Amino acid sequence: MPAINVSINIQGIVQGVGFRPTVFIYAHNHHLTGWVMNSAHGVDIELHGNEADIQAFIDELRSAPPKQAKIDLFTVTKAPTFIYPDFSIRDSVDNPEDFLPVSPDLAICPDCRAELFSTSDRRFRYPFINCTNCGPRFSIVQAVPYDRPSTTMKDFNLCPDCAAEYHDPRDRRFHAQPVACPVCGPGVWLQADGEKRAEGEEAIQLARALIMQGKILALKGLGGFHLACDAHNEQAVALLRQRKQRSGKPFALMAANLETIRRYAVLSHAGEELLTGPQAPIALLDVAPGGKELAKITAPGQKRLGFMIPYTPLHLLITEPAGNFTDVLVMTSANLSEEPIAYRNEQALINLKDLADAFLMHNRPINMRVDDSVVSMVQDEPYLVRRARGYAPMPVSLPVTAEPLLAAGTHLKNTFCLARDRYAFVSHYIGDLENQETLTSYKEAVAHYEKLFRIHPRALACDMHPDYLATHYASQRAEQEGLPLIKVQHHHAHIAACLAENQWNSKEKVIGLAFDGTGYGTDGTIWGGEVLIAGYADFERRFHLAPVPLPGGDLAVRKPARMALSYLLAAGLDPEDQALAPVKYLSKLEADAVKNQVQMGFNAPKTSSLGRLFDAVASLAGLVQEITYEAEGAIVLEAMADPDETGDYPLPIAGNIVNPIPLIKAVVQDVHNQVSTGVISARFHNGILRAALEASLQIRSETGINQVALSGGVWQNLFLANKMIPWLRQKRFMVFYHHQLPPNDGCVSLGQAMVALSQGLSAKE
Ligand code: ZN
Ligand code: ZN
Ligand code: FE
């Protein structure tokens, strides 16, 4: 059989994941010569050998690519015959217009974990062990191309042993940019009261001892600092709450392994895969019935616990089960209430000095702060709540080709989105753009992504809300750079994001169930209970919840009792009914103020928000009168819902209005009849589901549209999502929901980008 030549181009996540060494080994195994290199769009390979061997090579590479690679395109073409002496890895060439996706940070792999605890390994108990299959990526990259001099590892010179591994294509550490060892790499130390107390292993053991003494430890991890304490120590957890100024929001937890988590929470097979996968997020798991208990204030009123397992070698050493060390740690981002997570040593020592008793620091700089991701499960699949470490900056593939564009995102749970070619780089979770620190971190991140992915926006997209900082930022840039600015309605963006993620590439409209907290409407009121008929380019508001006054604006968001009173007044019910919790909660003065605001329409904007209806019902049911974290009313109400209750409250639809008044009346009646909160909550949820189904059926009968998209913060409610999806499918609807981005405002930037692109500015089919 004559020898031939072929060229192969592979695109996707193919750099920094051990692609070239894998190709090198496979080529040798199949007796092929030629070369491989990182290039223009991915990896280029040239092969010389006989046809059967080449085919076997291709089959092997396609079926067993490197673990962390993600292949989007695999193109094979015949090439002119040329004989190579051997197979080599060629140096990459950098073309300033080219770009490549950068790998997210990867949790420690099983091989490195085994070496970490192997006494004979030269990296035994070394807190920064990593290889091509694991370790920091996005958080340490400063520039492209992804190479050690472009990372925060550039100041650590490889020792001869590490250099040998780094240059050997057969080694697991070939071109692993963060490769390091105790001889040449970063180290840890413990610091307290401005003094270095210990280094290395001693520092780790001292940190563990402090935790067991009830101290709060600031621990520098992969994407930023955590505050850690013993989750069984009631006093330590209370102190942490007090110092962080965080009263009710549940804390994330870390346990050494899955066996430990099973003592506290229900762990499905899918949950195990999620926790042990390369993303290793915080998984929201149902509390195990009759399981072991933690300090009561760790996650008050919650039905779910947020657990993660150690995803770096340092975390493995800190949580190691030994002696009487606690089996669960609180592991929460190190920041004051809603400020961004601390990530630089000097800054952490200043900002966290009143929060932490001691600091376990290291000298591997973090270039980009990244929070832990938070993931729940819908239909037994991962469903994101917060998308950050392990996921960002993995791009979303677009159903269209985009010209360079920046979508600024929204106000709460902000992400931004940079699009080019067929990729949308949706940023990691930035946070609520409510303070200067978060805004600064937003601007830095935008600049970093633009540099990393070589995107020079030629258009900008933003929310319609005139006061959002992200909107200001976008308008300013549009003006300064002379670029078009497209303003996109919040709920239209939600639905467009859901469609894009699901690769919808049709001009056909869908039914959009945009169930949300707050979004600025085209009529200047606050929307959030919207049934849209929407495509990428435009939308129609087919049904919406009847608007009610939001007495006191933001104050009514913080105090569900105010919202309940607003609904009582709208329903013509007795606002002084002492059997009702919100009436008892509000002082006479505040109740009078609310009544005034509602009657005069003063400082009481109208809202059709479904989130606010949740608040009102949570308040009427006696659960939450004043929130201590965002969406507390809805979260606590969901946690209470009795899964066996099949009854529902009426939400009749007339014209284009969904009328919540009969529902409010029914809730009040059940409260009078002392029906349990579990039943009230379930009937409320079921009422919403039934109305949503009815609205969808009505639109289908009017228009023939058969696709339904679910987006908006309310869809984080798993009681709703896990029922709505099968209900719609039973009625033969095609259902789109979020898989790659969260249904909350974290997805809005992608939707803004899609709407802007499709409005003809720069969209190409
Ligand atoms: Zn590894
Ligand atoms: Zn070394
Ligand atoms: Fe929203």
∠536-539-541 over CA atoms, to 5°? 150
Burial class of residue 6 (count of CB atoms within 10 Å of its CB; 0-12, 13-18, 19+): buried
Contact 519, 633 (CB under 8 A): no
**CB 456: neighbour CB atoms within 10 A?**
10
Burial class of residue 242 (count of CB atoms within 10 Å of its CB; 0-12, 13-18, 19+): exposed
Q: Residue 730 C-alpha to ligand 1 middle, in angstroms?
A: 45
Q: What is the pLDDT of residues 59-107, one digit of tens each?
A: 999 999 998 888 989 999 999 999 999 999 887 766 777 777 788 999 9
Q: Which residues contact 763 (CB under 8 A, 6 or more apart)?
A: 400, 401, 402, 403, 757
Q: Which residues contact 421 (CB under 8 A, 6 or more apart)?
A: 401, 402
Which ligand lies nearest the alpha carbon of 609?
Answer: 3
Q: Residue 134 C-alpha to ligand 1 middle, in angstroms?
A: 4
DSSP code for 759? I
Rounded Cα distance between 763 and 177, Å, is 37
Q: Residue 182 C-alpha to ligand 2 middle, in angstroms?
A: 6
pLDDT of 40 reads 64
Q: Residue 394 C-alpha to ligand 3 middle, in angstroms?
A: 22
To which residue do tokens 């015949």 refer? 78
Q: Print the SS3 string covering 266-287.
A: CCCHHHHHHHHCCCCCEEEEEE
Rounded Cα distance between 649 and 686, Å, is 7
Q: Which residues contact 242 (CB under 8 A, 6 or more apart)?
A: none
Rounded Cα distance between 605 and 552, Å, is 8
Going along the chain from its start, the domains and CATH numbers come out as 3-89 (3.30.70.100), 188-362 (3.90.870.10), 395-502+744-764 (3.30.420.360), 514-736 (3.30.420.40)
DSSP code for 9? E
**CB 29: neighbour CB atoms within 10 A?**
12
For the segment 307-312, the average pLDDT, to the nearest whole number, is: 98
Q: Residue 519 C-alpha to ligand 1 middle, in angstroms?
A: 43
Q: Residue 391 C-alpha to ligand 2 middle, in angstroms?
A: 29
pLDDT of 172 reads 93
Which ligand lies nearest the alpha carbon of 126?
Answer: 2
Starting from the edge strand earliest in sequence, which strands make up the sheet with 33-39, in order? 70-79, 3-13, 42-50, 33-39, 87-89
Contact 428, 393 (CB under 8 A): yes
Burial class of residue 400 (count of CB atoms within 10 Å of its CB; 0-12, 13-18, 19+): middle
Q: Tell which residue, 557, 554, 582, has the closest CA to residue 568.
A: 582
Q: Residue 436 C-alpha to ligand 2 middle, in angstroms?
A: 40
**pTM of the predicted model, to two decimals?**
0.94
Q: Residue 160 C-alpha to ligand 2 middle, in angstroms?
A: 7
Detail the DSSP E strand segments found in 169-247. Answer: 188-192, 195-199, 217-220, 225-230
Q: Residue 22 C-alpha to ligand 2 middle, in angstroms?
A: 23
Tokens of 44: 């280029």
Which ligand lies nearest the alpha carbon of 631?
Answer: 3
pLDDT of 764 reads 41
- The b-or-e profile of 704-714 (16+ CB within 10 A means b, else e) is ebebbbbbbbb
For the segment 456-481, the average pLDDT, to the nearest whole number, is: 96
Q: Residue 194 C-alpha to ligand 2 middle, in angstroms?
A: 30
Q: Residue 217 C-alpha to ligand 3 middle, in angstroms?
A: 35
Q: Residue 121 C-alpha to ligand 2 middle, in angstroms?
A: 13
Which ligand lies nearest the alpha carbon of 158?
Answer: 2
Rounded Cα distance between 551 and 566, Å, is 7
For the segment 187-214, the average pLDDT, to the nearest whole number, is: 97
For the segment 360-381, the average pLDDT, to the nearest whole number, is: 97
Q: Residue 555 C-alpha to ligand 1 middle, in angstroms?
A: 49
Q: Residue 128 C-alpha to ligand 2 middle, in angstroms?
A: 11
Q: Residue 283 C-alpha to ligand 1 middle, in angstroms?
A: 22
Q: Residue 209 C-alpha to ligand 1 middle, in angstroms?
A: 28
Which ligand lies nearest the alpha carbon of 123?
Answer: 2
Rounded to the nearest 10°, the torsion over CA 122, 125, 128, 133 is 70
Which ligand lies nearest the alpha carbon of 173?
Answer: 1
Contact 563, 614 (CB under 8 A): no
For the chain, helix (H) and strand (E) counts, in that order, are 23, 29
Whether 700 shows a pLDDT value over 90: the answer reads yes
Contact 621, 671 (CB under 8 A): yes
Q: Residue 433 C-alpha to ligand 2 middle, in angstroms?
A: 41
Ion ligand 2: residues, CB within 5 A, are 159, 162, 181, 183-184
Which ligand lies nearest the alpha carbon of 498?
Answer: 3
Which ligand lies nearest the alpha carbon of 109?
Answer: 1
pLDDT of 765 reads 40
Q: Residue 155 C-alpha to ligand 1 middle, in angstroms?
A: 21
∠681-687-690 over CA atoms, to 5°? 140
Rounded to the nearest 10°, the torsion over CA 95, 96, 100, 103 is 110
Kindly list the distances between the CA atom of residue 68 and the CA atoms of 107, 553, 695, in Å, as whole numbers in the listed order. 11, 47, 43
- Is the backbone of residue 299 left (phi > 0), alpha (psi -120 to 50) or beta? beta
Rounded Cα distance between 670 and 665, Å, is 9
Rounded Cα distance between 264 and 379, Å, is 22
Q: Could you report how far apart the first and last alpha carbons of the chain are, in Å?
A: 44
3-class DSSP state for residue 649? coil
pLDDT of 147 reads 85
Rounded Cα distance between 732 and 745, Å, is 28
Q: Residue 379 C-alpha to ligand 2 middle, in angstroms?
A: 45
Q: What is the pLDDT of residues 634-662, one digit of tens each?
A: 999 999 999 999 999 999 999 999 999 99
Q: Tell which residue, 563, 612, 572, has the closest CA to residue 591.
A: 563
The chain-wide mean pLDDT, for the chain, equals 95
Going by pLDDT thresholds of 50, 70 and 90, the confidence category of residue 509 is very high
Detail the DSSP E strand segments found in 278-356. Answer: 282-286, 304-308, 328-333
Strand partners, 711: 514
Q: Tell which residue, 493, 437, 431, has the closest CA to residue 462.
A: 493
DSSP code for 761? I
Q: Residue 294 C-alpha to ligand 3 middle, in angstroms?
A: 33
Which ligand lies nearest the alpha carbon of 752?
Answer: 3
For the segment 383-390, the average pLDDT, to the nearest whole number, is: 98
To which residue do tokens 């006093």 refer? 235
Tokens of 121: 């390994």
For the segment 220-224, the average pLDDT, to the nearest whole number, is: 97
Which ligand lies nearest the alpha carbon of 179?
Answer: 2
Q: Which residues contact 656 (CB under 8 A, 6 or more apart)?
A: 541, 542, 543, 544
Q: Tell which residue, 492, 326, 483, 426, has the closest CA to residue 742.
A: 426
Whether 761 shows a pLDDT value over 60: the answer reads no
**CB 163: neighbour CB atoms within 10 A?**
13
pLDDT of 763 reads 40
Kindly list the distances between the CA atom of residue 92 and the CA atoms of 24, 95, 145, 700, in Å, as whole numbers in the listed order. 15, 10, 9, 54
Q: Which residues contact 712 (CB under 8 A, 6 or more apart)?
A: 491, 494, 513, 514, 515, 516, 517, 528, 610, 743, 744
Q: What is the pLDDT of residues 335-354, one digit of tens each?
A: 877 789 999 999 999 999 99
Tell how strand 225-230 and strand 217-220 pair up: antiparallel
Contact 527, 712 (CB under 8 A): no
pLDDT of 90 reads 87
Which ligand lies nearest the alpha carbon of 493?
Answer: 3
Q: Residue 131 C-alpha to ligand 1 middle, in angstroms?
A: 4
Q: What is the pLDDT of residues 111-148, one digit of tens each?
A: 999 999 999 999 999 999 999 999 999 999 999 878 89
**CB 477: neighbour CB atoms within 10 A?**
18
Q: What is the CA radius of gyration of the chain?
A: 27
pLDDT of 102 reads 87
Q: Residue 540 C-alpha to ligand 3 middle, in angstroms?
A: 17
Q: Residue 325 C-alpha to ligand 1 middle, in angstroms?
A: 26
**CB 333: neighbour CB atoms within 10 A?**
23
Q: What is the pLDDT of residues 239-286, one digit of tens each?
A: 999 999 888 899 999 999 999 999 999 999 999 999 999 999 999 999
Rounded Cα distance between 208 and 230, Å, is 10
Q: Residue 179 C-alpha to ligand 2 middle, in angstroms?
A: 8
Q: What is the pLDDT of residues 9-23, one digit of tens each?
A: 999 888 778 888 899
Q: Residue 432 C-alpha to ligand 3 middle, in angstroms?
A: 13
Which ligand lies nearest the alpha carbon of 183?
Answer: 2
